[in-house]
Structure 1
Amino acid sequence: MKSFLYVLFGFIDSFTILFLTFKAFRLPVTMYLRDFTIMATALSITSFVNRIVLEVNGSDVGAQFVLIVVFFRLLFKIRIYESALIAAIGYLSYLGIQFVIYPVLLSFGLVTLSDGKSLVEWGTFLIQLITDVTVLVIGWLIGMFNFGFSFIMQPPHDLYQKGKLDSLKIRIICGLVLGIITISTTTYWIFIFKGDVWLLILPILAPLLLLLRWLIRRDKIID
């Protein structure tokens, strides 16, 4: 039963990340629902194999990020740089929201510290459920009020076209690299961290806020 719930919530987690990602960049969601379903299914099964079957926890989040970038490139024909950027914003935002919800639930006694480190506890599923609902609502609000970035055009892209490399783009790339490192090491922090759980959000907010700041500036510039 819990293995089924792990796969189910893994699917929902991945789907909500993709939903938020596309909403954040004003890309159409409804026309890609079938692709989202395929991607979320593949990501959930991959995570189940990594964490439950092979017990390789530390590299799972990073592996899923890489898979999302590959899917964006192959399914949607989005260039690698844009694929990584879009995926990083979605993943960092999701993790940031989750690391706010987890301490709040912890403070109300609804979950325990072990739930944050576990894979198939009921408290773990509660954290995922509330995170997913929150992410979907935020994504819906972004679309409703027409927020988000518009400098990435709707796919398919010209995969061989190269954009200009200016100082702002270099900063974005640096923030992207920092974000990828953060995403790839998140699971490791959770398992070794012994302090206040609120502090876990700091290494996620740092690259996310930097990227958002630079992307807002980038959105005002015509490429």
Structure 2
Amino acid sequence: MKKIIWLLVLVAVVFGAKQYLSGGGSLPGMAPPRFENPYPASSPLHAQHQAFVDRANADEGLRKRFAGIISSKGLYAELKLALMRGAHSLEGPLLINATRAMAAVIPRLPERSCAKLMRPRDDFDPELERDARAAFERLPSRHHQNFLEFYLRALQAEVHDAPKVRADPQARERALRHLGEAYPGVFGERLAGVLRDPRRASDEDACWAINSMTHTATQLDPESAEALSRLLWGGEG
């Protein structure tokens, strides 16, 4: 359970650079791509996303980070790497708030898409992308604010090589122990079965696992919630 990074799949499909970046290129004389607001001015989500877009476009280094990436798989891989790296530099409360936002999204997903979060992938999934964005759009505005702040700050941390937060292996072990204690008996057996082979797990079991673990991680003591959030977003690092 030490390489839990499923939430990066969700961040990639909900607010992946694919739907934000437009134009630009990597040839000499070409401007890097720019971020654009995917929501019209009439949308209640427009203002929050425009604030994100304005801050992102003001950071030329961030725009250059995705210049010249043509394939969907290439963009997906770069986005995951950037977010994983950035997640190790952010302060704990910001990470926990982002995890809470994801814990609110996951129960709103159809079971088929929810289960996909547990399974390895290397590209965007149109069905999951559509379902995840629709679920996120139904959340209270505070979750949008928390998630967009995490998304931008994580990308900037990677681009500008922000220092990493010093790892605390003991805190991580305590957090994993506390998480395991939340799954006694048959619940632990069910979770272990999904983790052993998420590809072969049923959609029902896979969805239950990611939904339950993400929610449980946010309900633990602050130290454990932070340690698990770092695992969920960035792996061991």
Structure 2 length as normaliser, TM-score? 0.36
Structure with the higher helix share, 1 or 2: 1
